[in-house]
Amino acid sequence: MNIAVIGSGYVGLVAGACFAELGHEVVLVDNDPLKYAALARGECPIHEEHLPELLARHRGKRLAFSDCLPAAVRASRAVFIAVGTPPTHNGEADLTYVESVARAIAGAVDDYKIIVAKSTVPVYTSDWVRRVMILNGAPGDRFDVASNPEFLREGTAVTDFLYPDRIVIGANTPACSNILQEIYQPLLDGSYYQRQDAIPNPRCTAMPPPVIVTSTKSAEVIKYASNAFLAMKISFINAVATICESVGANVDDVRDGIGTDTRIGKRFLYPGIGYGGSCFPKDLSAYRAVAHECGYDFRLLEEVMHINDNQRQRFLQKVRKALWTLKGKRVGVLGLAFKGGTDDVRESPALAIIESLVAEGCEIQAYDPAANERAREILGTRNIRYVDSAYAAAENADALLVLTEWEEFKSVDFARVRELLRYPIMIDGRNLFDPETMREHGFMYLSVGRPDVSFKEVKTRKATAAD
């Protein structure tokens, strides 16, 4: 099928590449000349596993790039809207880009098409898209508007698309629903998984996935409710971790005890410095705004966001506990992205913590396997040095902070890190390491929701002129 995807951000780029992988003819449209030129040159603008492989496999074959929206729409049977919906000052989703695209699509509707909202949007958006298109000249009998929310995690977005937990199709007519099911047919009938060149299944989950066919309004609510519930699980385990610290319990054991209950599950029950990224913070604010418009005071969402924000402050208290005073201290940082496996630093708790440390007079040596440059664009270079390895981050630092759960960090040489540090202090905001292992290597080790590993007497290096 001929498909147009409008917008080449995380969602649009991954969706376009994966639709091509399923055998469709895809044109990816973006009006940013720099991004369009980079894609046309063969560059992959984001750090995402398997995405460079798919772009190289299908570019110039099943996947084309364009900056002409009308031509792409006229050539396509299905048009997916995947533009940004950033938050406004009051937390609502800003649908300016969605409306602008809807107006542009309207003028290019020459035969029956389905217009599919792939962006995360509040309920009633599909109704508004249809209304805007009709007001701008699109014949009402020549198009349908659908909602097909994505459930992609950055870092595993390609495999999440190709091996989904479920496919949600929100459509108000059988014709529209049938076309969307036809698009996903290689997943629904399992034929994609029989291919020799298929992207491997990372979770060995049973396929094909279930398909949920519902109304556009229900599909729109499903997306927001899913993200809100997952964010709630993260905030819940962080609140539990706070209690564990107070009473001397171990949150790892508590998490196992909770997560083995099949009604709850272990996924997203990982304590740390809180959630971030482009979805959870924005979507919770937008969902709260939707509830407010409906006359419902969704106070649970308020508390989820409050716990998340407070978690960063609790981590800073741990840093003060370990270093006493912060002014003039040199702090090594492992991780800048909001999570491992991506270079996305939007709403990253790591960046918020670094900003607070710099404000209190710290010097920062930071390393991230993928996000150094993106972080530099936001944080700048005042009292922050971006280095090229975990060991460079540790060198002559008064303490080493773990702020992102990259797999690379799990394999560091502890003896080397201890030798490089000015003091053997590690403060782990992601519970990446085992406390007993850190004790054996002579570290003072603070983590989240677990008993601290302290030291009565440590052997420190003598300060040098270089220090």
Please list the rounded mean pLDDT of every run of 10 residues in the chain (467 residues): 95 97 97 86 91 95 95 97 90 92 96 95 92 96 96 94 96 97 97 95 83 96 95 97 96 96 94 93 91 93 96 96 95 97 95 98 98 97 97 98 97 97 97 95 96 69 47
For position 105, what pLDDT does the model report? 97
Q: What is the pTM (predicted TM-score) of this model?
A: 0.90
Q: List active site positions.
A: 279
- How far apart (Å, rounded) are the C-alpha atoms in residues 320 and 103? 53
For position 457, what pLDDT does the model report? 41
Tokens encoding 80: 């997916």
Alpha-helical segments (H) within 184-279? 185-188, 216-247, 251-259
Q: In what order do the strands lie in the sheet with 78-81?
A: 63-66, 25-29, 2-6, 78-81, 113-117, 143-147, 167-170, 211-214
For position 34, what pLDDT does the model report? 86
For position 456, what pLDDT does the model report? 57
CA distances from 391 to 70, 355, 428 (A): 51, 22, 16
Confirm if 399 and 331 have CB atoms less than 8 A apart: yes
- How far apart (Å, rounded) are the C-alpha atoms in residues 101 and 327? 50
Q: Domains in the chain, ordered, with CATH? A: 2-212 (3.40.50.720), 223-307 (1.10.1040.10), 311-446 (3.40.50.720)
For position 120, what pLDDT does the model report? 86
For position 167, what pLDDT does the model report? 97
For position 38, what pLDDT does the model report? 87
Q: Find residue 427's DSSP bridge partners.
A: 401, 446
